[in-house]
Structure 1
Amino acid sequence: MAHESRSRRRLSQSSYPEDITRTVESAAGSWPSVLAPRLAYFAAVARTEHVTRAAHELGVPQSTLSRALVRLEQDLGVDLFARHGRTLSLTPAGRTFLASVERALGEVERAAEAVRADADPEAGKVAFGFLHTMGSETVPGLLREFRVHHPRVRFALVQGYGEWMLERMRAGELDLCLTSPVPNAPDLVARRLDEQRLRLVVPEDHRLAARKRVRLAEAAEEAFVTLEPPFGLRRITDDLCAQAGFRPRIAFEGEEAETLRGLVAAGLGVALLPPPAFARPGVVELTVTAPRAVREIGVAWLADRPVPPPVAAFREFLLGRRGRLLA
């Protein structure tokens, strides 16, 4: 019986019975699911060259380990070991296979360590997205304050416009994002944190530049420089102009608020923008009295995704800043 078992293991794929051959052929399309559970067993036996010692090292019954090795050789259609009583040695095919198995197991171990590190409450990672206009002052201030009590938490920071960040979050690339307008979608949880006043930015030699306050309707005949349509601030600009009774005449569209300020300074139009981090020469920023020109800032995350501890801690920190996020 033992001789028959050894002979069966040494069959080449071409000499397999028809049903075993079909099994190997069907498994070839899903090797990871077939082989993965047995790779660690194979590597342990290859390292010890002894089934009993490997079984003890792995904490599994010897019979379980022996069956796993036989199945592995049957699935591959090659002998990985030469048997010498209770000891084994790798065949040339086994040595080739072992090199790849060790690399694969090493990658799995590194990946496991990485995800465990990212979930560490004190030293994990938060993938955080935010609007370009919040990158120069607001977000650095938030991170500085948060890290007073969580100094080892790491951040992967991504800047973009609202819809783009939400798609990145749905794709698993972001944990949280600060965005505007506050999204309303069934797959998201979003909380309003604060609101930011928008100002009408005009060139310093503009007819309205001597004013401190202005009604938006007074700019109805002006050329506007705005962000491109996918940006939330562009939609807010269009909505506010509609409330003021006009449709803005767009002269230039861009992707970054400070570029728009530069266009305004060059006399190429006016813009509705949030306050700058630093005063920009060549422009005057006017308070808009009507309609009420604000944009809401909120934090959003996916409704059905588990939240690792460092992400939960930062989310609670942001929620605790409601009403003073932009202070």
Structure 2
Amino acid sequence: MSSSRHAEDTKVTVATSGDDGPPAEATELTADAPAALLAPRLAQFAGVARHEHFTRAAEELGVPQPTLSRAVARLEADLGVALLARHGRTVSLTPVGRAFARSVERALAEVARAAETARADADPGVGKVAFGFLHTMGPETMPALIRAFRETHPGVRFALVQSYGEDMIERMRSGELDLCLTSPVPDAPDLVTRRLDEQRLYLVVPADHRLAGRRRVRLAETAEESFVTLEPGYGLRRLTDDLCAQAGFRPRIAFEGEEPETLRGLVAAGLGVALLPPATLARPGVRDLSVTAPRAVREIGVAWMARRPETPPVAAFRRFLLSRRGALTPG
């Protein structure tokens, strides 16, 4: 029999009445049920285990002693083992009870740490914001944004994720991110989005390219060129395909990558041309040309989950981003 099959067949016996009611006939439940049933009684058992005395434990926990006695008795019934040996007014832990008590204390300590972390993350002054942003916004835009925000919120911490749009949206849906800067601005019923800015795209060509001496170019003039682009799924890749379609051709893709600066390196090596946002630092071997037709820009927006409660630091950072409309990105 496999371990997974064994786990499916495991049964435990639990009492179904409340802690303050009379004992009820036991009911068999599958092994995935005990955590929810046992959790309310673990702290009570831990108190009894520390004192090995019901009255002193009841005083510490602030519950009536009979209630505590019944709760521990039902915990033993749920587990099907004796955790305590009764000696009149006092009790002592059985070997199984002592091992169980150590595990319970560790579990309760972990819960306490988790609660403290949750409170700290939500603290308006020192809480945490889980924030996603595009690769192309990492070198300059993001440091400037966080620096400006922390002028008024110096203690707020950030967990930063640098990725592409679709991945960040999925991370928000899973709860890994609070909000993100992305392009294109998504349209989905479970999201709230706001357009913040637009960013020009340039045709990046090798320094010795036939167009390198120009300052402006119509995208149609590159119909016969090889392009280096981001991989399918990236917003900038979709925008490249769309702009080329508007110019009347389908781009011939020579190389695909995951990071815009890598694409600039491929262009510098003479392996193709690319449509990219402005570079933070000048790279030798390439020229950035303005695209006059079609209009080559991408929208930058902020997205967050609809109807998901926000902590104070997340709400403050969202308000800050919305206040930066029209002044978010260079170039």
State if a TM-score over 0.5 links the two structures.
yes
Distance in 1 separating the partners of 2:146 and 2:225: 39
Distance in 2 separating the partners of 1:243 and 1:121: 47
Q: Deviations over 1:149-208 (max 9, x none)?
A: 111111111111100111111111111111000000001011101000000001111111
2:100 is aligned to 97
Does the alignment pair 1:296 with 2:299? yes
Distance in 1 separating the partners of 2:152 and 2:54: 51
Match of 1:31 among 24, 30, 34: 34
RMSD over aligned Cα atoms: 1.8
Does the alignment pair 1:84 with 2:81? no
Distance in 2 separating the partners of 1:240 and 1:298: 20
The aligned amino acid for 1:115 is: A
Match of 2:109 among 106, 111, 124: 106
Instruction: Return the offset for 1:305.
Output: 1.3
Q: Can you give the 5+ residue segments of structure 2 that lack an aligned partner in the other structure?
A: 1-11, 16-22
- The number of residue pairs the alignment matches comes to 311
2:153 is aligned to 150
2:220 is aligned to 217
Does the alignment pair 1:199 with 2:187? no
Instruction: Return the offset for 1:82.
Output: 1.6
Q: Deviations over 1:25-77 (max 9, x none)?
A: 41643110111100000001111222122112111122211110111111112
CA contact (8 A) 1:27 1:75 kept: no
| Structure 1 segment 128-207 matched on structure 2, within 5 A | 128-207=131-210
The aligned amino acid for 1:187 is: D
The aligned amino acid for 1:249 is: R
The aligned amino acid for 2:201 is: L
Instruction: Return the offset for 1:214.
Output: 1.0
1:6 is aligned to none
Q: Deviations over 1:101-146 (max 9, x none)?
A: 1111111111111111111111111111111010111001111111
| Partner SS, residue 36 of structure 1 | helix
Match of 1:241 among 240, 244, 249: 244
| Partner SS, residue 252 of structure 1 | strand
Does the alignment pair 1:71 with 2:74? yes
**Higher helix proportion (structure 1 or 2):** 1
- Normalising by structure 2, we get a TM-score of 0.91
Distance in 1 separating the partners of 2:288 and 2:145: 25
| Partner SS, residue 152 of structure 2 | coil
Identity %: 76
Match of 1:278 among 259, 278, 281: 281
- Normalising by structure 1, we get a TM-score of 0.92
The aligned amino acid for 1:133 is: T
| Structure 1 segment 227-238 matched on structure 2, within 5 A | 227-238=230-241
Q: Deviations over 1:208-248 (max 9, x none)?
A: 11111111111111111111111000000111111111111
| Partner SS, residue 33 of structure 2 | helix
| Partner SS, residue 26 of structure 1 | strand
